[in-house]
Amino acid sequence: MTDDTAAAAGADPAAASTTASTTTASIAAYWDAAAAAFDDEPDHGLRADRTRDAWARRLRSWVPYEGADVLDVGCGTGSLSLLLAEAGHRTTGVDLAPRMVEQARAKLAAAGLPGRFLVGDAAAPPTGGERFDVLLSRHLVWTLPDPEEALREWIRRLRPGGRLVLVEGRWREAGQSGAPYVPGAGSLPWDGGIGADALAQAVRPLVADLRVEQLSGDPDLWGGPVNDERYALTAEVPAAAG
């Protein structure tokens, strides 16, 4: 978005909504085009045993339940959904990009594991009135037009006592290279990622308990050393009263 279009959108709610839907369409197109090569990154495809095992271990500690219902929003090619299914959880993945969803479906089918994958907006997952034990999101909130509203919606999708698992960070590629990754990306509130303190501040009023685990120091997760901020935030929603 240029300064002029931002000013126009700010003055006219209809223009703001058109701008937001144009940005969402651009984001879907970007990730659709990225889907074929997405798994070439070590932490996306998890092709190396060491990388896959590192994520499987972390997921076991973040989802320490038997047979949980897990909603993986912005699931991409389903690499984490696959690990969750291997661990015996019932996974539903939602992604804006149809080609990402196709790959996720194919990945679980190839492994002979169940998994449900839906094309849709993570901010309003198309799962009706269903409630989940765990909502997982990795590397998504930075590209949402209204991430704080999405967080509130995600909490509503959890059962009492359910758990939010957000794997996030701040990284150069997403915003500090100068060029926006899609037109309008500069107007995304958390463009370039969000630090753990700021995300914790946004989540804390919505939950009963919250922890942050730093992940930058574990090169096995990323396929090599990284020097930007990466972390997992886990939080529980209040259990039902009585």
Ligand X SMILES: C[S@@+](CC[C@H](N)C(=O)[O-])C[C@H]1O[C@@H](n2cnc3c(N)ncnc32)[C@H](O)[C@@H]1O
Least separation in angstroms between residue 137's CB and ligand X is 7
**Which CB, 8 or 30, lies closer to ligand X?**
30
DSSP label at residue 67: S
b or e along 80-104 (b: 16 or more beta carbons within 10 Å of the residue's beta carbon)? bbbbbbebebbbbbbbbbebbbbbb
Least separation in angstroms between residue 239's CB and ligand X is 28
**Which CB, 7 or 48, lies closer to ligand X?**
48
**Which CB, 9 or 104, lies closer to ligand X?**
104
Least separation in angstroms between residue 119's CB and ligand X is 9
DSSP assignment string, 115-182: -EEEES-TTS-S-TT--EEEEEEES-GGG-SSHHHHHHHHHHTEEEEEEEEEEEEE-HHHHTSSS-SS
Least separation in angstroms between residue 212's CB and ligand X is 18
**Which CB, 8 or 119, lies closer to ligand X?**
119
**Which CB, 9 or 137, lies closer to ligand X?**
137
Polymer length in residues for the chain: 242
Nearest Cα to Cα of residue 227 among 213, 216, 215: 216
CA distances from 204 to 40, 71, 166, 207 (A): 35, 20, 13, 6
Q: What is the 3-state secondary structure (H, E, C) of 165-196?
A: EEEEEECHHHHCCCCCCCCCHHHCCCCCECCH
**Which CB, 141 or 203, lies closer to ligand X?**
141
Q: How far apart are the C-alpha atoms of 57 and 235, rounded to whole Å?
A: 18
Least separation in angstroms between residue 205's CB and ligand X is 23
Least separation in angstroms between residue 161's CB and ligand X is 24
Least separation in angstroms between residue 4's CB and ligand X is 25
> Residues interacting with ligand X, by CB under 6 A?
27, 31, 44, 74-76, 79, 94-97, 100, 121-123, 138-140, 143-144
**Which CB, 8 or 187, lies closer to ligand X?**
187
